[in-house]
Amino acid sequence: MTRDFLHELVGSMSQGAAGNPTVAMIEAAFAHHGLHWRYVNMEVAPADLADAVRGARAMGFRGFNCSMPHKVAVIQHLDGLGESAAIMGAVNCVVRRGDQLIGENTDGKGFLKSLCEVLDPRGKSVVLLGAGGAARAIAVELALAGVKHITVVNRGEGRAIELVTLLREKLKLSADFAAWTGDYAIPAGTDALINGTSIGLYDADARIPLDASSLTPGLVVADVIFSPPRTRLIREAEARGCRAIDGLGMIVNQGVISVEYWTGVTPDPAVMRCAVEAALRLS
């Protein structure tokens, strides 16, 4: 095989991610910008991850995304990590730089880009619902961007305490944990509320246990859920005069950053958002 006759390749290593809107989004960006690149989705079982990375290396892939359950396990097969990926200990985007495969995390960066369109995070107080992979990526990027304080609200204690400890010890951030029992009331003085849980995924009516009266006008309310994008939280926040940010912005922006890492070209986010909406049958 010679590279001369091939498009440059990037890919996605996932498990059970058929119909992934990311494929449509990245391919749309390549087509729109006349890039002779292809993005291919591959099912990789955990036991095959090492071979899959070796294969991507051998075949000259310019990089790849990885989704759960590979985000942590992939690290041992890479040559280095970007700053935030090293802090959070998870990689969703691998980039070939020279002959090295470097792990980055674009989930939190994509979220931050969406947030910054509405609110400058510097010096702000944030309530973050959830302590899983998405919440952890968001928390680390918010800390690196200079937020003042993060309260992590989570049902289970283990991962939440681990996240708060990481924020305090590795990032020297003021952070605390609030146990999630009953409807959580967002404290006065909070600038942004972020849903980083999976509540609402594929269920437009799923209710997040929140005291709705604490969704006050002007509060920024962001949701990681992109399917459906108009979650119950987003609808309720808008109805109460909050500034709402849906999860589509995060997925599009993490794709924008990935394409920039791989190709050096800054793609048009509008083209990518259109492709995601079509893949999710929203348009």
Q: In the complex, which residues of this chain contact ligand NDP (CB under 6 A)?
A: 107, 110, 130-135, 154-156, 159, 197-199, 201, 224-226, 247, 250-251, 254
| Nearer residue to ligand NDP within complex by CB, 8 or 70 | 70
Q: How far is the CB of 82 from ligand NDP (least distance, A)?
A: 17
Q: How far is the CB of 128 from ligand NDP (least distance, A)?
A: 10
| Nearer residue to ligand NDP within complex by CB, 8 or 25 | 25
Beta bridge partners of 39: 10
Clarify whether 113 is annotated catalytic. Answer: no
Q: How far is the CB of 215 from ligand NDP (least distance, A)?
A: 17
Q: Give the span between the Cα atoms of 70 and 161, in whole angstroms.
A: 23
- Which residue of this chain has its Cβ atom nearest to ligand NDP in the complex? 132
Task: Name the active-site residue from 71, 109, 113, 124.
Answer: 71
Q: Apex CA 148: angle with CA 145 and CA 82, to 5°?
A: 30
3-state SS track over 90-132: CCCEEEEECCEEEEECCHHHHHHHHHHCCCCCCCCEEEEECCC
Q: Give the span between the Cα atoms of 227 and 211, in whole angstroms.
A: 24
| Nearer residue to ligand NDP within complex by CB, 8 or 135 | 135
3-state SS track over 19-64: CCHHHHHHHHHHHHCCCCEEEEEEECCHHHHHHHHHHHHHCCCCEE
Q: How far is the CB of 83 from ligand NDP (least distance, A)?
A: 19
Q: Give the span between the Cα atoms of 98 and 102, in whole angstroms.
A: 10
How many Cβ atoms are within 10 Å of 223's Cβ, its own excluded?
28
| Nearer residue to ligand NDP within complex by CB, 242 or 252 | 252
| Nearer residue to ligand NDP within complex by CB, 226 or 262 | 226
Q: How far is the CB of 54 from ligand NDP (least distance, A)?
A: 26
Helix (H) / strand (E) containing 194: strand 192-195
Active-site positions read 71
